Amino acid sequence: MKLPRPSRVAAVFALTAIAAATGTLAAPKVKPTVADAEKFLSATEARFANEYENNVRAQWIGANFITDDTETIAAYFGEKALAAQGEAALAARRYNGLKLKDDAARKLKLLQLTLMLSNPKERADYASKQAALSGAYGKAKYCPSESKDACLALGDLEKTLATSRDPAKLKDAWTGWHQQAPTYKQTYIDYVALSNKGAREMGFADTGALWRSQYDMKPEQFAAEMERMWQQVKPLYDSLHTYTRLKLRQNYGAAVVPASGPVPAHLFGNMWSQNWEHIYPLLKPATGTSSFDLSKVLVERKTSAKEMSQYAERFYTSLGMQKLPESFWLRSLLTKPHDRDVVCHASAWSLDRLDDVRMKMCITRTAEDFKIIHHELGHIYYFLAYKKQPILFQTGANDGFHEAIGDTVALSMTPSYYQQLGFMDKAPEANADIGELLQVALSKVAFLPFAYSVDKWRWDVYAGKIKPDDYDKTWWQLREQYMGVSRPAPMAAGGFDAGAKYHVAADVPYARYFLAHLLQFQLHRSLCAEAGYTGPLHRCSIYGSQKAGAKLQSLLEMGASKPWQEALKAATGEDKIDGTALLDYFAPLKTWLDEQNKQLAAVEVRK
């Protein structure tokens, strides 16, 4: 997925001290007025407009040129931003209790959803550790031999997991990468302590409580909502997991895949077992499949990274949205450079809050990357849509919305879409739907318990319920409980397997991805109805529907100006995120999976 793009917290990070300019941060001797609050907000946003670029550009440079120097620069601007963020947040508290207009009251609330470290040395240390963790992850390599020429980056190891069917090679790649994270475990431990101190200075119990407070509800309510949503979709995941186990057992044998209990994590085709698409060849139905291979088409046509991105751009323009600015093509990073280390994790960026939008991604000619480009452009078009909003509203209705938009579009990447692009001569037979649905489920459904468990782990880490010595123990307890996945090798002393995931090392909240994987189906269902589509939900593509595009654009333009519940209701008529649309989408697959599981289990018993 991606780097943390400017959000309601990161946006405030870009503020600098405004006391000298406005005088509004000085300790007041008189009770503030509504006019004072409005003056404070106006000055804050004006200053933010001037200071935003420096901070984001430092992040951009740090991600695209990984050196000790760029890490230092990123830490410097991060420390400045953190100081300003806290000062603005504390100043905003002065106006709590005033009867303000809705917009002003919401801005004050958003300003205070952040952490504050009042000690300058601690602020600098926090920013330095944040930059160091991201840099260490980006530079990490597994060297299976003493020769430096044999060292493997994450992308190399991921390729092995995606393509090899040799359990020994898979296990070596998996363990090789997970051996890297312990080198920055202590940095993470120290970072957590500083982060919690900053959250407490703003009145939150810990950083996890701060994160959960960013969803227009109390932290405990949000945690309960996450569990409610997981329980809705769990039966579908359980059916998919059972089927996957039985097929993996057929392929690898009983000595590798147990008949019950969790399945070893290195067998799912992905470093974190969060996406199972790469093992589809082992799981595909005996009948009812399509021979279409988008990756093969892209390779045969020698489709360039830019051309792949232009296809995605044309999806959005087919909905009536604008073409990407020319600067996007000049300033984005679309392929991996050969002369330097970069963070290849796909990400979308807005560098000036206006039209300087960019994508950073090491694109390869694969179906997976083709979809990821569509996803990243969802962020880009969100940036462009809400650029006219006040600065503090220039983000998604919640962070799950930002992740959901591009994935909503990707759900329309159906056979009919590929036909219109000229990639597919004719649509597959109707009985090929199961194969198509299974491929989507291996990405979307398989991901859900991983996305849920990442932040469940971190909430408890931040709350002090999980001690550093137990990081790995509890990480795997959660993965076994929610995912049915086990560690391929015994845990090592001092391990930090959670840190082998980018979003943990870079401290990017992960609940957003869980929400997005449900929200995208709700939006898809609503946009398909707007486009006049009446068939099975999984066959719908809104490509070319300007009516659906107009509805989507109106949602994007709202930014964070309203609570997300209002934004969702305007777009779908519903004010809760839940799994009903996802279950509707996969209903034919659920029926098929349950039938297959009965048959496969019967064969297993006869053995």
The answer to which of 20-29, 232-241, 551-560 has the lowest mean pLDDT is: 20-29
Position 401 scores a pLDDT of: 95
Query: Is residue 526 classed exposed, middle or buried when 0-12, 13-18 and 19+ CB atoms within 10 A define those classes?
Result: buried
4 has a pLDDT exceeding 50: no
| Phi, psi angle pair for 322, to nearest 5° | -70, 160
Q: Grade residue 10 by pLDDT with cuts at 50, 70 and 90.
A: very low
Position 507 scores a pLDDT of: 94
Compute the average pLDDT of residues 431-445.
92
Task: Report the C-alpha gap between 42 and 34 in whole angstroms.
Answer: 12
CA distances from 76 to 16, 117, 120 (A): 13, 15, 12
19 has a pLDDT exceeding 50: no
Q: What is the 3-state secondary structure (H, E, C) of 450-471?
A: HHHHHHHHHHHHHCCCCCHHHH
Position 581 scores a pLDDT of: 97
CB 486 within 8 A of CB 264: yes
Q: Grade residue 148 by pLDDT with cuts at 50, 70 and 90.
A: low
Q: What is the pLDDT of residues 493-516, one digit of tens each?
A: 999 999 999 999 999 999 999 999
Q: What residues form DSSP beta bridges with 350?
A: 357
The answer to which of 18-22, 99-103, 211-215, 465-469 has the lowest mean pLDDT is: 18-22
> So where are the chain's domains?
8-140+180-204, 223-291+386-599
Position 20 scores a pLDDT of: 32
Task: Report the C-alpha gap between 448 and 230 in whole angstroms.
Answer: 8
Compute the average pLDDT of residues 51-69.
85
Nearest Cα to Cα of residue 325 among 363, 351, 364, 361: 351
Task: Report the C-alpha gap between 230 and 227 in whole angstroms.
Answer: 5
Q: What is the 3-state secondary structure (H, E, C) of 297-313?
A: HHHHCCCCHHHHHHHHH
Position 145 scores a pLDDT of: 77
Compute the average pLDDT of residues 368-379.
94
Position 147 scores a pLDDT of: 58
Q: In 3-state terms, what secondary structure has residue 188?
A: helix
Percent of the chain with pLDDT over 70: 94
Q: What is the pLDDT of residues 563-607, one digit of tens each?
A: 999 999 999 999 999 999 999 999 999 999 999 999 988 887 776
CA distances from 208 to 153, 197, 224, 324 (A): 31, 12, 14, 36
> Which among 34-48, 276-290, 314-328, 338-352 has the top mean pLDDT?
314-328
69 has a pLDDT exceeding 60: yes
CB 161 within 8 A of CB 173: yes
Tell me which of 432 and 535 has the higher pLDDT.
535
The CA radius of gyration of the chain, in Å to the nearest whole number, is 24
- Type and span of the H or E element at 227: helix 219-252
488 has a pLDDT exceeding 90: yes
Compute the average pLDDT of residues 227-247.
98
DSSP states of 483-539 as a string? H-EE-SSPPPTT--GGGGSHHHHTT---HHHHHHHHHHHHHHHHHHHHTT--S-GGG
Q: What is the pLDDT of residues 280-294, one digit of tens each?
A: 999 999 887 778 889
Compute the average pLDDT of residues 64-85.
80
Position 29 scores a pLDDT of: 63
12 has a pLDDT exceeding 50: no
Type of residue found at 243: Y
Compute the average pLDDT of residues 536-541.
95
pTM attached to this predicted model: 0.88
Position 431 scores a pLDDT of: 74
CB 140 within 8 A of CB 501: no
Tell me which of 217 and 24 has the higher pLDDT.
217
Tell me which of 123 and 441 has the higher pLDDT.
441
Query: Is residue 11 classed exposed, middle or buried when 0-12, 13-18 and 19+ CB atoms within 10 A define those classes?
Result: buried
78 has a pLDDT exceeding 90: no
Task: Report the C-alpha gap between 581 and 291 in whole angstroms.
Answer: 28
Nearest Cα to Cα of residue 336 among 130, 159, 521: 159
16 has a pLDDT exceeding 70: no
